[in-house]
Amino acid sequence: MGKVTVSTLKNMKASGEKFVCITAYDATFARLIGAAGAETILVGDSLGNVVQGHDSTIPVTIEHMAYHTECVSRAAVDSLVIADLPFMTYTTPEQTMVNATRLMQAGAQMVKMEGGVWLSDSISMLVERGIPVCAHLGLTPQSVNVFGGYRVQGRTPKGAKSILADAVEIQDAGASLLVLECIPQDLAADISTKLDIPVIGIGAGPGTDAQVLVMHDLLGLSDHTPRFVQNFMVGQDSVQSAIKAFVDAVKSGEYPRDEHSYT
């Protein structure tokens, strides 16, 4: 597919072509995901759950993220590599710059941060200095203790209005991508339509420009399966074919369906 860039994803949004994001934490799976045709790979702080065995992403450090980003980036030939800035590593613009630089030097082509309007100054600063940003709204796992658990966000008029306002502000600050997690599908579709930048959904219905899943979830390896997850190993004879099935299902619009979405 050739090397994917930010421009590639913007052009796909403009043409109405869906793209795919899958998490990876090592070179082997990064190679398989790229070979299956996923345009983007997320080195997610979800590694705290699926690799390290924690019950949240909060214990993950910048050292962990840099190491796994190095592993993934060595094998991600064509896919765009996005790396999560972990908990409490971007509380000020200055701290954000130091830690984002570390992930970029480890091989990331973009960094991802959870949060709304309060990130605007940091996003602007990073972009001005050559670091692309993916923002993350809705259910932000690093704030699980504030939310009181993994709960759907944006179900009230006030909550929906807040998420939309944050999305617009984040785009204006210079973000290149936006992840929407666990919000009502109508809200996600509305935000995707109103924004110029591509929107990646997870538990946000079919109306976004792309879909992302944690690799372990789509392979049926997780102890707890969220409503929005489909086990793509069912009916497949290999990990490679399951990953390809997910890519194909997103691109064809077969995933996600109503049963994977929230109202």
Closest C-alpha to 137, from 154, 125, 122:
154
Tens digits of residue pLDDT in 22-49: 999 999 999 999 999 999 999 999 999 9
| % of the chain at pLDDT higher than 90 | 93
Domain ranges of the chain: 6-260
Q: What superfamily does domain 6-260 belong to in CATH?
A: Phosphoenolpyruvate-binding domains (3.20.20.60)
pLDDT of residue 189: 98
Q: How far is CA 186 from CA 16, 193, 230, in A?
A: 18, 11, 20
Q: How many CB atoms lie within 10 A of CB 26?
A: 15
* pLDDT at residue 224 in the model: 84
Q: How many residues does the chain have?
A: 263
Contacts 24+ apart (CB under 8 A), 247-253: 247/20, 247/36, 247/37, 247/38, 250/18, 250/19, 250/20, 250/210, 250/211, 251/17, 251/18, 251/19, 251/20, 253/18, 253/206
Active site residues: 181
